[in-house]
A and B are shown apart, each in its own frame.
Chain A
């Protein structure tokens, strides 16, 4: 078969997938981006093709501290950044500690390695619903234990107000650390044992081994892991939606806020503008990650 014929055949194989991608991903993305530049709301939803073009107005509104939507969107961005700043390092540290333990040889290691994946493989809807019950003020076990230990005098509300985001953080760290552990464990197993042996001969302590061999050798894996977690965190939705409901109030993150603005309040263009920004941020992070991986390859 000539190379031209092979090329044609390959094109035919790719074509169905490309058509699906075109209509399921690419066209909606560009259509969504177009919506961000028109005024599509409750008044124009039935005639969206004729909705007026408003240029950058929607973007200005959603980033303005003078509009209600702007204040709340900026707050949601801050929330997701704050959420990431706490949950990503927390998940990383727990994952690393457990990976270090699991990298040692002990009886039942394979079983433990499988068991730690349980939170990660539990569907979000199941895990976060359980956490919702755990944090319930009246029947939740968190308050039950805190009361029994005498740390609080009366049940506290975890899922509303300022504490809500911390409740989501706890649930998210619980759900996310096994993934970090899995990746870091794979990284640990790729570190050549000779390095440790040589260092031990030189009299290096366990801490020195970690500081000068393990941690530096994990850097590429860690960088990819942290960036991947940052991307996932930026469009965090399930945990907030399931734990805090359709209106997380002060704990809105961009994804939940966009859902509310676009589909509940029918401010579809503002929702589209917010989504475009979210997409650009995630895209930027993805480019950084790909560059980083290319750097590793070289």
Chain B
């Protein structure tokens, strides 16, 4: 009697294990970030997962992870080689995660080749010359301006950074201190993106061409940082900006309180939702004395090296990058820009503000694909915060920028020495 029970239970357990294994083999796990509001994002993903299952027989279990926890969750997945088969990473994260050895190397010819993607986004997938991800969508920031405020003052959108200050002063004369521009401050995690575009436009660079030394503390870097600080010092931006995060700066513009702000395409959805009557337009970032520059960000899709379903994961990436899916996702959900060039053939990107973003993304720059990039960005941002704090607390002097940029350069060189 006892034996018969043991046999029965064993059969049930075996059946369960077999069915679980079968289920596990017929599904992949996909981690992604909240690229769109849940109410539109989840139904879209469910629909696409169903479509994919019909086509391949594989179920896609997706999990949406907040940006705040994504880094640590992915780090754990990389260390344990368990969790997702395929997942989204920010462009600046891709080379760092590739350096861990936990990502699958990817031959981009399977996805149309390197030239099928926006150049900066392709570069962001690389580490030591090899690709470890597939560009999914891109972002770049342009100058948003309040057309009504500009019309009242009788000025045109600035074409250069110097012009921006001239225009800004006129706006301040009419609308009061801090009304010209909203900028990100110490609480912005993406503070570097805001300064990098000015630095490049002034002819500077973050690192030397061989990526061995810091280069941002040279003359161009100091001038570019002084320009950024002067926005607060000259009263064009409110002193409170010194502690803003990016959404606070965006909100100041979207609420109609300030005339200009550097924002991304995703902010358009925010404007439509929070202040649809806002009279605004978008122009390319102003040019510096050397060139016009912009930052390229966005997200890539990567495959976990330990995944047992790499081929299906690749098929899922291919599926997401199909022109129709990519355009639909970027245009109607994430309000980002597609990272695949063919998606720009969609006439939508030749209309209104999108043509500005499309043009800007064409010359946008990615950060150097290094394993120690996180340390580098942290070092620069922390000293940048010290500069902004000095500005806000009245301790800013002529030497402040050079002092902190040199400190940051020291730390960056220390980090670069660890790059293998």
Contacts and interface: CB of A to CB of B under 8 A. Distances in A.
Interface stretch (A9-17, A73-81, A204-212, A262-270): A262-270
A68 B375 CA distance: 11
A42 interface: yes
B59 interface: no
Nearest to A263: B72
A264 B378 contact: yes
Contacts of B187: 159-160, 245
Interface residues of B, number: 41
A162 B392 CA distance: 12
Contacts, number: 96
A138 B96 CA distance: 37
B226 interface: no
B94 to A, nearest CB: 13
A32 interface: no
Interface in B158-217: 185-187, 189
Interface string A280-296: 00000000000000000
A247 to B, nearest CB: 7
Contacts of A246: 189
Interface string B364-379: 0000000110110011
A190 B401 CA distance: 60
A112 interface: no
A227 interface: no
B78 A161 contact: no
Contact of A45 (B75, B242, B305, B418): B75
Nearest to A161: B389
B100 interface: yes
Majority SS at the chain B contact face: helix
Given A46-B78, A68-B414, A264-B71, A160 B382 contact: no
Interface string A74-94: 000000000000000000000
A162 B238 CA distance: 20
Given A46-B79, A67-B414, A154-B239, A160 B385 contact: yes
Contacts of B75: 45, 263, 266
A67 B389 CA distance: 24
B2 interface: no
A157 B393 contact: yes
A43 B371 contact: yes
Contacts of A250: 386
Interface in B377-401: 378-379, 381-382, 385-386, 388-390, 392-393
Contact of B411 (A68, A162, A247, A266): A68
A266 B374 contact: yes
Contacts of B411: 68
Contacts of A45: 75, 78-79, 100, 102
Contact of A138 (B238, B374, B386): B238
Contacts of B79: 45-46, 48
Interface in A26-53: 41-43, 45-48
Nearest to B388: A160
B243 interface: yes
Contact of B239 (A155, A245, A260, A265): A155
A23 B374 CA distance: 32
A73 to B, nearest CB: 14
Given A46-B81, A137-B243, A156-B393, A265 B374 contact: yes
A249 B78 contact: no
B382 A161 contact: no
Interface string A239-255: 00000011101100000
Contacts of B374: 42, 264-266
Contacts of A67: 414
Interface of A: 41-43, 45-48, 67-68, 136-138, 154-157, 159-163, 245-247, 249-250, 260, 263-266
Given A42-B374, A161-B393, 10 more contacts: A45-B79, A67-B414, A137-B243, A160-B385, A246-B189, A249-B386, A260-B378, A263-B75, A264-B71, A266-B100
